[in-house]
Amino acid sequence: MDKKLSIILPVFNEKESIDLMVRLLMSSLKFEKEILIIYDDANDNSISKAKKLENEFSNVRTIHNDINPGVKFAIDKGIKEAKHEIILITVVDEIFPIININRMINLIVEESFDFISGTRYSKGGFRLGGSFFASNLSKLANKLFCLFSNFPLTDCTTGIKMMKKEVWNSISLESKPIGWAFAFELSIKVYLNKFKMAEVPLKSVDRLFGGSSTFKPLPWIKEYLKWFFWGLKKIRKIK
């Protein structure tokens, strides 16, 4: 498989972050790549910055997700538009995971992995910033899920994931479009479909430059619990 990467960047009012993120990606990755900036709302304050970047770099595209709102659908729109067979899903407001991208793509190209998840919760990884409640909810959910299911990933809920395009296309995601909650479902279904998976520790520092968080406690908790128990049930059946 060729070392070529399509980077999917869903945005929502990220004018403070988008320029730096794109420039760091362009300068730090020395292989062929494209950056797809996906937005839902025509009034998103990221758009003007994204359009300027699109005009400056031939491999940056700005795409309007005009079908269904939400991160999950924005990512799906981006992957449908992607021209390369390896996909990176990442978040605009976290720049530090950029240093892990080379390691992630090497695992796919050189060691034939299908799916690589970042992890904030294994040795070498950590998480700083963001909502105290959201951070601890995520950490607790992942720890308990690993404890009860012996799951091979320590961080199912991170949005930073790299995979072959065929992995995304082969999985039907049914979670509600509530922030990044779909990442939990995706990780579980990748495992159940027997794709070769691994994880890479990453340093996560939330929202250095502002932007808009979509975190809403009650809907997120309900969706996390739904896939937590669904995953436990399915995994126990095959072990």
User: What value does the mean pLDDT take over residues 42-71?
Assistant: 93
Say whether pLDDT at 212 is over 70.
no
Q: Which residues of 42-61 are buried (b: 16+ CB within 10 A; e: fewer)?
A: eebbbbebbeebbeeeeebb
Which CATH number do you get for residue 140? Answer: 3.90.550.10
Interacting residues of 16 by C-beta distance below 8 A, sequence separation 6+: 209, 210, 211
Domain that holds residue 94: 4-238
Q: Which two tokens stand for residue 90?
A: 């990442």
Quickly list H helices, 17-70. 18-28, 47-56
User: What value does the mean pLDDT take over residues 12-21?
Assistant: 89
User: What value does the mean pLDDT take over residues 6-20?
Assistant: 92
Give the angle subtended at the CA of 90 by the CAs of 31 and 133, to the nearest 5°.
155
pLDDT of residue 74: 94
Q: Which residue has better confidence, 115 or 223?
A: 115
What are the φ and ψ backbone dihedral angles of 84, each rounded to 5 degrees? -105, 160
Measure the N-to-C terminal CA separation of the chain; round to a whole number of Å.
Answer: 32
User: Residue 220 — very low, low, confident or very high, per pLDDT cuts 50/70/90?
Assistant: confident
Closest among 132, 149, 128 to 207, alpha carbons compared: 128
Say whether pLDDT at 188 is over 80.
yes
Question: Tell me: the pLDDT tens digits for 52-64?
Answer: 999 999 999 999 9
3-state helix, strand, coil in the chain (%, to 5): 45, 20, 40
In sequence order, what E strands does 86-130 have?
Answer: 86-89, 115-119, 126-128
Q: For the chain, how many structural domains are there in total?
A: 1
CA pair distance 223, 212, nearest whole angstrom: 21
Highest mean pLDDT among 86-95, 103-112, 138-147: 103-112
What are 86's strand-pairing partners?
Answer: 5, 164
Give the Cβ contact number of residue 66 at 10 Å: 11
Question: Tell me: the pLDDT tens digits for 150-175?
Answer: 999 999 999 999 999 999 999 999 99
Q: What percent of the chain has pLDDT over 70?
A: 92
Length of the chain: 239
pLDDT of residue 209: 53
Burial class (CB in 10 A: 0-12, 13-18, 19+), 123: exposed
CA pair distance 206, 95, nearest whole angstrom: 9
Contact 11, 43 (CB under 8 A): no
pTM, two decimal places: 0.92
User: What value does the mean pLDDT take over residues 124-142?
Assistant: 76
Give the Cβ contact number of residue 134 at 10 Å: 17
